Structure 1
Amino acid sequence: MSPEDPCAAEIAGIRESLAALGDPWRCGETKLSKLSRECRKARLGVPAPSAGEITARAELPARMAEFALAASAPREVPAGEVEHEPTPCLPVSFDLRDVGGRNYVTEVKDQGEVGSCSAFGTIAALEGTAAFTRKVPGLRLDLSEAHLYFGHAVAREAILPDGTWPDEMFADCVALGVTFGDYYPYYDDGSGALNPGWPDRLAKAEGVVDLSRDPAAIKRHIHEYGPVTACMIIYDDLFHYTGGVYRHTTEETSGGHCVALIGWDDEAGCWIAKNSWGSEWGENGFLRIAYGEAYIEDYPDPRPTTLGCTSVNLRAWLPAQRTLGLFATAHDANGWAYLENLGWTRISGGPHGTTSKLAQLTSARVHGQAIAPFIDDGELSMIHPAQ
């Protein structure tokens, strides 16, 4: 990095501050470092908090850090008290990218120079939840941020001058659903087009829960269901983050931003987050951020900003895959198939349809042939031989 580089002095100043703190994280030139302040702000997308809301939460960061660490600690039962329903103990660390060697987190994406981070954070939660609740990392959904942001949010006139809110994005995912990326490609200039057949290539969220200001609930949700969408204040030093556990070194801020929490590490005292600034920023697109930092557990706004969902229903043709198992009861209308990248799925269609599909799946399995499944509301409703 040459001395003439306009971001050189900025990075040097951050490094001095980090050295005084014992170098908790690393900074350097990233793809955002050389951008102007206006272009950096364009890569955010959550309305900035008011000074009053920040002041009202002055004691929150320390409390959130304390509660986050306590969430994984075994509960001591006072003498004389009987614990009738013990709460399962959470692990001291958990990462959806490596659960027993399986990765349930989809690839890092890049929102470009438009404030669509709430759409990316919400989609990351849906994609991860769909795979993790089915225990099938091979599902690898690629849902459309463009549909949420340029489609639903624009139609509702919900895009504010400095961004959108993830609770509204989740509401759209419940009520309307979101199509797949190939049916509405994302371009940050909004030039993508929605395929008119999108109602037959759709994902819908269910069981949306507000986890704001509750680190224990955030951890439990990640551990049981999948990623959690969270909002945070962006301090200007974060644009130069290249690794480590982030804590802000400056009070200068650029606005609000939305990420997806995918795990935690109590030994390091941090959350693990998936960002939407591309894989060339941070730790291959991911961020480790200290508990209580940047108000990530409860963004300074009255509305819910830390959210998850408990399931994702699909209505779509999925990629060709093998049938790994079949099950049927004496009642021939009750059949199930275990598909390679979908897990156990009930076969729909009544007695005749179920019997026909079981025969088709059995033949494909015996001959080692893949099938293309059409899933509708959690059920296998149509099958085509793979081409």
Structure 2
Amino acid sequence: MTDALDLKTLKSDLEDAGQPWEMDPGTDMALMTEDERRVRLGFNPPPGAMTLQEAVKADKAAPAVTSEIIASESIGAPAAFDHRNVSGKNYTTAVKNQGSCGSCVAHGVAAVMETTYQRSVANPNLNLDLSEAHLFYCHGGEEGRNCQNGWFPDQALDKAKQKGVTLESVYPYTGTQQACAVPGGWQNNIAKVTGKTKLTGRAAIKNWIATKGSVTGCFIVYQDFFSYRSGVYRHVSGGSAGGHCVEIIGYNDAQGCWICKNSWGANWGEGGFFRIAYGQCQIDTWYGPYGANSVTLKAWANNLKVNGLWANDSARNAWAHFQGTGWRKLVTTSDVQQQAMLSCLIGAKSGNRNVRALIDGNQVKEVYVT
């Protein structure tokens, strides 16, 4: 076991290193006990994967990532990208706090799914909020995972493909170990991934982020990281505390760093986010990173406005355009149901009334005028 967090030594080491980043001894994480901090990590590599000790050894031997290396790796991708500002739009979702549970993988994977979906439909205002409780306590629990032993992002993405993840409003997360108790009917509010891709090399990671969505990132947490407040993090002080996984939402070649969203609450880091130098702590090489190929969503949408309707003589070929959602095909099991749904939407449009709709990908399965 490594020594616990030493704030006095960290302050001195940062000064000796030329203040590469700013520390804050008052973060929630810094004020916790060592045991309380460690339980909030939650990435313990499975058999056959690089162990924490091997990752630390590789990290110490890794060469510095110079500006020349960065320039050679960045051909074809923009020099910077941040999902919080894509042509003025923020496709990320709210920072969460995993509490006293090693559920970082579930938080990171859920965040990747949320950002990827909102980016894919070009709508940052959906406020998609997936249930980390469903992903971790239910799907992870089936694999024997719990708050003490954590999980792995590839398995979490596989479960999100096979079974899907419901919404936070359906099954809220608590920051302590809980039995799976997802309520019935959760299948009517569900997000799924179509598959996952393991990304090898910084160029591939950057290209994925710039063109598709965010990715998972697993890395070594050293003791100094708990007191990070701002700047581009580099390990300067303390031994390793464990492994941790987050969402990588962007990058910046000029600063030589990844931009990440953590799950330790908004009182830590840059409002819950942090920047970490390329190559540091094995974040771009250890266990992934993984991207979600695409994300589909089946959920009830409320307070929709009908902007337009379209149909032709083909059987059951009618579409509706909803404000903020776009065109969706009306899907029913009979011509009578199709006509009833279309008539309902015609009335809602003419009367400027809101609609509640069950949307499954690009299909509308049920509608109610509210």
TM-score normalised to structure 2 length: 0.89
1:340 deviates by 2.8
Q: Deviations over 1:165-224 (max 9, x none)?
A: 11111111001111111221111223473112212221111131111x321221222222
Distance (Å, rounded) in 1 between the aligned partners of 2:205 and 2:176: 34
Partner of 2:16: 20
Distance (Å, rounded) in 1 between the aligned partners of 2:321 and 2:247: 29
Flag the 1:19–1:335 CA change in 2: closer, same or farther, 3 A. Answer: farther
Distance (Å, rounded) in 1 between the aligned partners of 2:349 and 2:18: 58
Q: Note the 1:123-202 alignment, pairs <5 A.
A: 123-159=110-146, 161-191=148-178, 193-202=181-190
Flag the 1:162–1:63 CA change in 2: closer, same or farther, 3 A. Answer: farther
Indicate the RMSD between aligned Cα atoms, in angstroms. Answer: 2.5
Distance (Å, rounded) in 2 between the aligned partners of 1:43 and 1:111: 7
Count residues in correspondence. Answer: 359
Aligned amino acid, residue 319 of structure 1: N
Aligned amino acid, residue 106 of structure 1: T
Partner of 1:3: none
Contact 1:71 1:90 in 2 (8 A): no
Partner of 1:47: 44
Contact 2:147 2:176 in 1 (8 A): no
Q: What are the ranges of 5 or more consecutive residues in structure 2 without an aligned counterpart?
A: 46-50
Distance (Å, rounded) in 1 between the aligned partners of 2:12 and 2:275: 20
Q: Note the 1:303-342 alignment, pairs <5 A.
A: 304-329=287-312, 331=314, 333-342=316-325
2:6 is the counterpart of 1:10: yes
Contact 1:69 1:269 in 2 (8 A): no
1:45 deviates by 0.3
Q: What are the ranges of 5 or more consecutive residues in structure 1 without an aligned counterpart?
A: 1-6, 74-88
SS at match of 2:54: helix
Flag the 1:105–1:52 CA change in 2: closer, same or farther, 3 A. Answer: closer
SS at match of 2:125: helix
Partner of 1:72: 74
SS at match of 1:313: strand
Partner of 2:33: 36
SS at match of 1:314: strand
Percent identical pairs in the alignment equals 36
TM-score normalised to structure 1 length: 0.85
Distance (Å, rounded) in 2 between the aligned partners of 1:309 and 1:368: 37
Distance (Å, rounded) in 2 between the aligned partners of 1:309 and 1:114: 24
Match 2:348 to one of 364, 376, 382: 364
SS at match of 1:139: coil
Partner of 2:205: 218
SS at match of 1:277: coil
1:329 deviates by 4.9
Match 2:255 to one of 248, 268, 291: 268
Q: Deviations over 1:322-378 (max 9, x none)?
A: 233444455463333332343332322266555543443343233322211101243
Contact 1:332 1:354 in 2 (8 A): no
Distance (Å, rounded) in 2 between the aligned partners of 1:344 and 1:60: 49
